[in-house]
Amino acid sequence: MPLDKNRQFLDFEKPIKELFDEIEKLRLTAEKTKVNLSDSINKLYDQVTERRRDITANLTPWQKVQLSRHPDRPYTMKYIEKMTDNFVELFGDRNVKDDKAMIGGLAQLDGETIMVIGQQKGTNTKMRQYRNFGMANPEGYRKALRLMRLAEKFNKPIVTLIDTPGAFPGMEAEERGQGEAIARNIYEMIRLRVPVIVVIIGEGASGGALGIGVGDKIFMLENSWYTVISPENCSSILWRSWDQKEKAAEELRLTPDNMFGFGLIDEIIPEPIGGAHWDYNEAAALLKPRIVQTIRELKKFTPEERINNRIEKFNKMGFWDEHPEQPEQIPHSEPEPEVNEIIPANHA
């Protein structure tokens, strides 16, 4: 497991980097002295694995948010590449333009044709700008809906991969109907007649996630998050500063275990030791069979049964208190005072 020189480390991953630095020193020493140090190097690699396991065993909610944003983490295109064959990307919303933050197309998953849709972030500065940092405009959500309807027309299952800090909040997005586009997707996805599987692979923020987040089954990867607002923005609203983002992450209850406990997701998908960014192949291998199995299970239901189950599923979400209906109170009106007729003196 040689270290990629371009690999980046988060603050709490620094102990792993220190071990890799030691490995590199031993490797250089072995090359110079021609001494076999493979046993020592292998022991350090074992320590790396253990350290990865220890670090991710007790992550705080904020650390999980950081891990979901790891610059080396696999994005939608990487999962498509590793899980599917013969991917054919489809473009455009047939109205405004093609939104590069939202990708989708037909692919073969374990021999079956599916429609796969998801947000895509860039892997470097130039590509992040090109992909708008994974924040889709209204045309992105309309493009996604067009592809979903195409899948429904040809009776193909739909898999959506969510990884977005939110829908793009720019003025031009609002002018083109950002809220309406997301609301329309939610409405239409509830009524799709084909199986729909949603997987949150990284960030799942606000309406940007909900725009492709309605399905028969909803999965979250182990180090992802799902909530109505990012911790930073929550902190800026409540405390007028980003300094309380860690506290906000704790209070938002945004981790997979919280989401599962609330009944908002159906299953937590494990990741490779230390996170999906350590092994793309293993990350895809852990997710793929669960999607394949779920599609087979959902196909046993009729379209009407799937739609009814979907409606019932989402209707159950959330917490509220019902108060007994109070009898309508008729407002009490004060009697008008008697008015004595005053007769002018000259008429007496």
Distance CA 26, CA 147 (A): 53
Residue 202 makes CB contacts below 8 A (sequence gap 6+) with: 68, 69, 73, 75, 121, 162, 163, 221, 224
One-letter amino acid of 65: V
DSSP assignment of 47-92? HHHHHHHHHHHT--HHHHHHHHT-TTS--HHHHHHHH-EEEEE---
> Mean of the per-residue pLDDT values for the chain?
92
Q: Which of 232, 174, 236 shows the shortest CA–CA distance to 205? A: 232
Q: What percent of the chain has pLDDT over 90?
A: 84
pLDDT value of residue 3: 57
Q: Pairing relation of β-strands 158-164 and 112-119?
A: parallel
For the chain, which residues make up each domain, given as ranges? 14-58, 66-315
Query: Phi then psi for 166, rounded to 5 degrees?
Result: 140, 165
Q: Give the residue carrying structure tokens 């089954």.
A: 217
The answer on pLDDT for 121 being more than 90 is yes
Per-residue pLDDT for 129 more than 70? Answer: yes
Strand (E) positions, 92-165?
102-109, 112-119, 158-164
- The whole-number average pLDDT for the span 276-299 is 97
Q: Are 109 and 84 in contact (CB under 8 A)?
A: yes
In 3-state terms the chain splits into helix, strand, coil percentages (rounded to 5) of 50, 15, 35
pLDDT category at 318 given cuts 50, 70, 90 is confident
Mapped onto helix, strand or coil, the DSSP state of residue 200 is strand
Could you tell me which CATH number the domain at 66-315 has?
3.90.226.10
Q: What is the CA 120 to chain-centroid distance, rounded?
A: 11
Q: Please report, rounded to a whole number, the percentage of residues in the chain having pLDDT higher than 70.
A: 92
Q: Tell me the mean pLDDT in the region 318-322.
A: 74
Q: What is the mean pLDDT of residues 9-27?
A: 92
